[in-house]
Structure 1
Amino acid sequence: MISYRLLSPRWRKVWADLAGNKLRTLLVVLSIAVGVFAVGMVASSYLMFQRDMANSWSSASPASVSLYADPFDEELIDSIRSLRGVKEADGRFNADLRVFTAGGEWRQMWLTAIPDYIKQEVSVVRPQTGAWPPGDGDVLLERSSLAELGVTPGERILVETAAGNKRSLKVSGIVYDAGQIPSLFSGRSYGYINMDTLEKLDEDRQLNQVNLVVEPWVLQGKATAPIEAVGRRAFTKLEQGDTTVSGFQVNKPGEHLMQGTVNALLLLLAVLGVLSLFMSIFLLINTISAILTQQVRQVGIMKALGARRDQILRMYLTLVAVYGLLALAVAAPLGALAASAVTGFIAGVFNFDSGGVALPLKVLLLEAAVAVLVPLAAAFWPIWQGSGITVREAINDYGISSVAAQGRVDRWLDAALARMQALPRPVVLSLRNTFRRKGRLALTLLTLTTAGIVFMSVFSVRASLYATLEQALQYYRYDLMVVFTESYRTNRIEQAVMQVPGVKTAEVWELTSGRILRDARKEAENEASTEVTVYGPPRGAETIQPTMVTGRWLVPGDESALVVNTEVIKDNPQLAVGAPAILKVGDHKLRFTVVGITQGILSGPYVYAPGEWLTKALQASDRAHSVRITAWSGDRQEQKLLGRALDQHSKKNSLKVKRVDVTWENKQRTEGRFNILIAFLLVMAVLLAVVGALGLTGTMSINVLERTREIGVMRAIGASSREIGQVFVVEALCIGLISWLAGAVLAVPVAALLDYQVGLLFLHNPMEFYFSFAGVGIWLGVSVTLSLLASLLPAWNATRMSVREVLNYE
């Protein structure tokens, strides 16, 4: 109390403004805190992502290059280690087989055998819980695969080998492999065994993968070309060792496999932070204007007592700075907690270790600047204008202004309202008051409209993503696909499949893999593209409906014709309609002419060649590796049961099944990945909606303050509390509906732009634009609800005012 008395009068007033109107203080602090929170969350998330992903990636000593080949002996690894530019190299064996999940389904699994778990040097697999290293007949599961398999350590899993034999393995522990794409995205599970267990899985004790790390002097920033040159020498060494290389992968230095996707999410978060910051500035301008509007007479009295404009300016700027510091105290820890939650969630999805809560000094300084400097800059002009009022203008202020029509909009509105005789007078007054303060209305509409645009655009992105998925599924017009471990006679496959009840049609396709060569030279094999999937559709295939970008699809009579998708073109830009193409499949070099380019949608690099010609060229005439099936029933559960029946019946007919794909299950898994993105976008929309609701609440509170004397006049002529409250509720609804209408119009181009960017960031292709009218309807409901909620407290405050209180209002 003594310290309070020692303050000069103007600083006492600052304290009184802070403590005397707690609701207003809370509103201003929240207005600033929203922007500080968003900026802090985005900045902290970015730094935490970079820190945690880099730590997880570097701790695994990730491979610079990975090569996949036919089985070879361990001696080849020593020769690769001796190559110039190679710092270290390790070998391992990957067995691609199937595992029986707890859900009663067969799924793909990659079992990796590592010769020495203790002396790992490259792409290190780290133990989490349980036994280490795995014993004979045991398996360690990668942690991202646990949910997919539905098992826990100590239980056993049943796997089916490439030879068709079933083996039981004990899950003895959990490991973490930072070098694997998480099971959610790859669609396969990962397990780790020792070399002795390979024999139990019908595999030879050999290697089929090389991981190598280049010497530091090879690295040139983020460039991959020098690393690829070293990898090509290892490629040549493997080929000289009488093995065929089927895959070649170069990793960007210091960059996590999922870095691109996470960076795209961070970009969306950054947009959220910027939007929230700008909207909080608008809220602050409105709120400071309200304070000055309420205190016009106080400013006049201070000036009458000799206060200068610069003193009043400093006083109110100090008030704003204190508001900012209070907002910083609230928003900084909340931003750090939110960033930790976001990072933890993404770490779980993308399978890297989260380092927990952190509030870096640079983020705290950024938040302090946003909390103090930005509000000061935003509030300067309203305070400058308010502090410039003269004593006479201040004393003559009665809180009733802008009633008479002053412009064309006002005159038009007055004329329109005059013709609406059937409307109740409180409603007419609400409609007129909505446009009374056009500058304040514009700022309020800006916040609400921005929130609505983002919300409706998110639903449009969601609609476009799902439509893109549907389009991709229409590309393949079948319900199930059975892939075999080896090729069989087409007649044998078709007869076996058609014997299963529920099968409507069966179309046998050749399915293999290959690499596109630059030319026919032997040296060109070392420069070949990464692995592409080769499909051989039968003549007149009906289970595919390709979207052609240029050229044509395969027609009966085609022989050496090739259709490639746009994913292949990215790695092989030399391919064009009419251009020659050389495809290496196994030991065969096949020469083609490109006749068409088809759109790749949610797919890898695919090429299509006439099935009959392709199998002859591969010396496997009238044989195939897969069959595409349409079912009589469209019921999902029945199709799932049909998949199991096909699996069992194929085995009874000695057809070794590699996998059974059910189309709707693939769709469901893809939708799950999409939902991660949609969840991020919805967080953005919800946060902006909260900001918009705060802005509307502030606007209505300002309106109540400004119209205090008007409320008194209404009271004096007999207006009830219900009628007074109705004035402000209807006004808030008008603002909400105007913002909804403006947002619905502006959401169309914004949603189209967001669709395009999301397509490039996450699908690497622009999406077809689909505007969501459902999103427009949902936002209408949200906008009306927010308007009602935002008006309740101001309306309630207005109804509590008595005539005596109003007459005493200053």
Structure 2
Amino acid sequence: MGIIIKFVLKNIWAKKLRTLLIVTAVMLSSALYFATEALSGTAADMFIERVRVYYGTADLMIHPTEGSPSSLFRPNRAEMFAGDFEYIVGSIETGGTLVLPRETLRMTIKGFNLPELAQMNPFYLAAQEQLYPFQGKKIILSKQTAEEYGLRPGDYLDIEVFGAKRKFFLAALAEPAGPFQHDGQNINAVVPLDPLATIVNARGRVTNLYLKVKDPARKGELLQKLRALYPRYQVRETVTGQELAEYTSSLTMSFQLMGTVVLFMAVYIIYSSFKVITRERLPVLGTFRSIGATRRMTNLILCAESVMYGVIGGFLGCGLGLVLLYLIALQVRPDFMASVPVKLQFSPGQLGAAFLLAVLVAFLSALRPIRKAAKIPVKELIFNLYSKPGRRERWRPAGGVILIALSFLLPPHLPYQLLLPGGMLLLFATIIGFILMIPSLTKLFLAVLARLNRYFFGNEGVLAAKNLRENQGVLNNISLLAIGISALLMINTVSYSTARELTNFYRDFNFQIWFWTWQADRGIESILRSVDGVTSTYGIYTANAVEITNRNDRINLLHGANPHKYLDYHTLDLDPALLAELDTGRKILLTNTLRERLQVKKGDVLTLKTARGERDYQVIGFFDSLMWNGNFALIGERFIKMDMGKQYYDDLFVKTNKDPELVREAIKTRLARRSPFVITLAQMAKDNQQANDRILRVMQGFSLLALVIGIFGVFNNLIISFLERQRALAMLRSLGMSKAQSIKMFFAEALTGGLIGGGRGCFVRVPVEHHYPAGDQGFVGRTADLSLLPPLSVGGPGRTFDHGDRFRQSRL
């Protein structure tokens, strides 16, 4: 065994360039696999970090809804189960306005007992001034906020709470993490609980109660018990497993597909490399066999070499995978979390799986060339009689046509649950189908290119065209080029489609400004209409994350549509009569995406969990929309007010007859005391595009990696081509072909093969895109490409982590 290992290591070291090629292919495939698999854990940690500003480490929370008898409640009922919880932390949360010399800032003020807050949501102080005892009118702000507005510990701040201006002492600055993390919209401040309770006349009561269970297995049981104790308040999990799964799966799905393409190319390259290795080893194998080595022993030598490549590539791939994971996490991290360090979440099992994949890829890719070499009789090995023309396999073109046809025909009929695995299989089928058709398609291309070669390269061009017909190495090059070009074009097309669909999406909004403020009502709407440049407004009632109890799913965004105004502000392909029907009863219109996801048809009933209890809604039709990536539905305005207990508008849409940016500034000035959130649709489109671009840049990097290893593969196949044609080339030289003519012929072969491979790549791109799974949206082309990015995509301001927080903070 020691002799075999020495022989293998010597062979690996002797061919350094080829070793680099194989190890690079194995390394990249295992690194991309690890980065993609570990990204789900890192993305989940990022998601939790983003919502920790609201919930800390709490598992459950209790808060009022618009149907609750009061915005305040006593925590004593929950304290009956104190032994089942690690902590029960109550808080009072309300809005306030920080008055500065040149501007006023809206802030979220949270009253906590400081030790309880530290237990629920750990934070780190950057500076302090008389912080302890944390009593009276003291306040803690984020260091990031303080630096932005020139505040220091020891300053007195004028903060308007409940219509009265009060002075608070800035007692400490905290690092921008945990409860002081900037969420992209709100400025968060912490004050002592008891003084804030006195200000709002709420001694002994809270607006929010956060609970962490001791035994996670009992979470569901305790949730039901608390719901029974607080029947008129919302009792729910802070972060559900479904939310985590949706966020992580939609983020990792695109990378899994690109990693699949790279893995396929790596297999192809290793396979072609071992064709060269086995061909080179045949004389040695013949010698071994002639002195008594068994076929099993020679197979073991070659298999050991392939495993050794896998081991080396696996170790390097694990290291590179960690680097790739970090770079991907940096790209997908939101801008407002730039100050929060990236934490990589991965398990030893994921590293082990990536290493095992590297070994298996190297071993299995080399298995077929090794087995073919083993079948050569000893006599032919000794006398060098093994160079025989390959058998022509007529089934290949027919098999390729069948696979490509299936990739076109099957996607519309796949169930929603099989979109990802079905899409992966069809992606493989498409690529394999075109590879099988490469020889036949090459002949068709050469019918035209052979004449062009004669014109540009003379007789050498004609020889190059003839060589392309039967040379397997060149055909392999064409296949690799087709796969690499198709991957690159696919990502670039998705990027273009995303930009186009974003433009189309915002074009479907027939208004210019999106407005939100606390407790927006008809009075606020009247003020808006009086602003110069505002022509009309439409206040809308919405609900987020509405559970569908009889389908074990949810609707991320539900609009209450006014049949007389909704279509004036939204350009939907929807019959006005169908929209008017929503007001005749509890009826619902779903997007086509939800129709596929829920597998429903007209007449079916969906049971929605509302603030007033469960209500049955009948499905009356479907429409196309990108809002919330298609996870969006419409019900009648009066029913959303009735069932969800709505008193205030959730958003107002504003039409203007002047520059929207100027009108936006006028609205902010007019309603400065309410610190509204006002954004133009043009700015929303720009923000969405920037968020999507970050993801697409990473995917483009994946596609470039596919091209890079494809280039290595082309180089490897050129070596194969030279080895297979040594006798033919020697014969041409004996007939008078010069070195310059040989180079000219090789150049013509490379150029012609590149043109054919590039052309094939453009055609491969079409079916690949056709079944490219895309988040919650289904297949690209069935609706739109934006679904690549559910966590960052369209759907209105503040929608990603809404969950009713804006309402809870505004009730006081």
Query: Please, what TM-score do these two structures have when normalized by structure 1?
Result: 0.69
Structure-2 residue corresponding to 1:334:
320
CA distance in 1, matches of 2:567, 2:722: 71
**Counterpart of 1:138 in 2: which secondary structure?**
strand
CA distance in 1, matches of 2:368, 2:625: 54
CA distance in 2, matches of 1:540, 1:551: 12
Structure-2 residue corresponding to 1:787:
none
CA contact (8 A) 2:93 2:111 kept: no
Q: 1:701 to 1:29 in 2, by over 3 A?
A: same
The reply to whether residue 229 of structure 1 matches residue 215 of structure 2 is no
Partner residue of 1:41 out of 31, 35, 41: 35
Q: Deviations over 1:455-504 (max 9, x none)?
A: 3333444445445544542443111134454534589436522xx2xx26
CA contact (8 A) 2:61 2:235 kept: yes
Q: CA deviation at 1:77?
A: 1.1
Structure-1 residue corresponding to 2:17:
23
Q: 1:342 to 1:618 in 2, by over 3 A?
A: closer
Partner residue of 1:116 out of 91, 94, 113: 113
Structure-2 residue corresponding to 1:428:
462
Structure number with the higher helix fraction is 2
| Deviates most, 735-744 or 295-304 | 295-304
Q: Deviations over 1:328-353 (max 9, x none)?
A: 34323222333344456657779687
Give the letter aligned to residue 700 of structure 2: L
Structure-2 residue corresponding to 1:629:
654
Matches of residues 22-171 of structure 1 in structure 2 within 5 Å? 22-45=16-39, 60-69=56-65, 76-82=74-80, 87=85, 88-96=87-95, 111-120=108-117, 123-127=120-124, 129-131=126-128, 136=137, 138-141=139-142, 154=152, 163=163
Structure-2 residue corresponding to 1:183:
183
Q: CA deviation at 1:173?
A: 1.8
CA contact (8 A) 2:513 2:664 kept: yes
Structure-1 residue corresponding to 2:210:
211
Q: With CA pairs under 8 Å and 6+ residues apart, which has the higher RCO, 1 or 2?
A: 2
Q: Deviations over 1:2-21 (max 9, x none)?
A: xxxx986x777645533333
Structure-2 residue corresponding to 1:290:
276
Structure-1 residue corresponding to 2:749:
731
CA contact (8 A) 1:560 1:593 kept: no
Q: Deviations over 1:252-302 (max 9, x none)?
A: 67x596453124334444444444334322211101111233455555555
The reply to whether residue 376 of structure 1 matches residue 363 of structure 2 is yes
CA distance in 2, matches of 1:35, 1:619: 52
Q: CA deviation at 1:560?
A: 6.4
Matches of residues 520-559 of structure 1 in structure 2 within 5 Å? 534=560, 542-548=568-574, 552-554=578-580
CA distance in 2, matches of 1:202, 1:268: 49
**Counterpart of 2:247 in 1: which secondary structure?**
helix
Matches of residues 678-693 of structure 1 in structure 2 within 5 Å? 678-693=696-711
Unpaired runs of 5+ residues, structure 1, are: 1-5, 240-244, 520-527, 773-810
CA contact (8 A) 1:218 1:227 kept: no
CA contact (8 A) 2:261 2:487 kept: no
Q: Deviations over 1:39-83 (max 9, x none)?
A: 343455556667898999999432323423479697711233226
Q: CA deviation at 1:672?
A: 3.7
Q: CA deviation at 1:128?
A: 5.7
Q: 1:101 to 1:692 in 2, by over 3 A?
A: farther
Q: CA deviation at 1:593?
A: 10
Structure-1 residue corresponding to 2:431:
none
CA distance in 2, matches of 1:584, 1:414: 66
Q: 1:445 to 1:189 in 2, by over 3 A?
A: farther
Q: CA deviation at 1:92?
A: 1.7
The reply to whether residue 262 of structure 1 matches residue 248 of structure 2 is yes
Structure-2 residue corresponding to 1:174:
175
Q: 1:703 to 1:117 in 2, by over 3 A?
A: same
The reply to whether residue 496 of structure 1 matches residue 483 of structure 2 is no
Q: 1:540 to 1:67 in 2, by over 3 A?
A: closer
Cα-Cα RMSD: 5.9
Q: CA deviation at 1:643?
A: 0.7
**Counterpart of 1:473 in 2: which secondary structure?**
helix
CA contact (8 A) 1:506 1:630 kept: yes
Q: CA deviation at 1:698?
A: 1.4
CA contact (8 A) 1:90 1:210 kept: yes
Larger Rg: 1
Q: CA deviation at 1:754?
A: 2.0
**Counterpart of 1:630 in 2: which secondary structure?**
strand
Structure-2 residue corresponding to 1:745:
763
Q: 1:89 to 1:234 in 2, by over 3 A?
A: farther
CA distance in 2, matches of 1:693, 1:660: 50
Q: 1:611 to 1:539 in 2, by over 3 A?
A: farther
Q: Deviations over 1:587-616 (max 9, x none)?
A: 99999999877666434877565699989x
Query: Please, what TM-score do these two structures have when normalized by structure 2?
Result: 0.69
Structure-1 residue corresponding to 2:413:
none
Q: 1:468 to 1:202 in 2, by over 3 A?
A: farther
| Deviates most, 45-54 or 733-742 | 45-54
**Counterpart of 1:754 in 2: which secondary structure?**
coil
CA distance in 1, matches of 2:147, 2:691: 18
CA distance in 1, matches of 2:557, 2:583: 22
CA contact (8 A) 1:125 1:175 kept: no
The reply to whether residue 366 of structure 1 matches residue 353 of structure 2 is yes
Question: How many equivalent pairs are there?
Answer: 716
Q: CA deviation at 1:195?
A: 3.9
**Counterpart of 2:571 in 1: which secondary structure?**
coil
Unpaired runs of 5+ residues, structure 2, are: 395-438, 789-812
Structure-1 residue corresponding to 2:487:
454
Partner residue of 2:724 out of 685, 693, 706: 706
Give the letter aligned to residue 378 of structure 1: S
Q: Deviations over 1:204-259 (max 9, x none)?
A: 77632222345638727xxx5x45423422432xx4xxxxx4x5543467x59645
Partner residue of 2:684 out of 666, 679, 683: 666
**Counterpart of 2:112 in 1: which secondary structure?**
coil
Q: CA deviation at 1:673?
A: 3.6
Give the letter aligned to residue 212 of structure 1: L
CA distance in 2, matches of 1:569, 1:278: 33
Percent sequence identity over matched residues?
13
| Deviates most, 588-597 or 713-722 | 588-597
CA contact (8 A) 1:509 1:535 kept: no
Q: CA deviation at 1:26?
A: 1.8
Q: CA deviation at 1:733?
A: 3.9
CA contact (8 A) 2:158 2:165 kept: no
CA contact (8 A) 2:513 2:655 kept: yes
Structure-1 residue corresponding to 2:809:
none
| Deviates most, 17-26 or 407-416 | 407-416
Matches of residues 308-323 of structure 1 in structure 2 within 5 Å? 308-323=294-309
Q: 1:478 to 1:279 in 2, by over 3 A?
A: same
Q: 1:767 to 1:228 in 2, by over 3 A?
A: farther
CA distance in 1, matches of 2:199, 2:302: 78
CA contact (8 A) 2:586 2:617 kept: yes
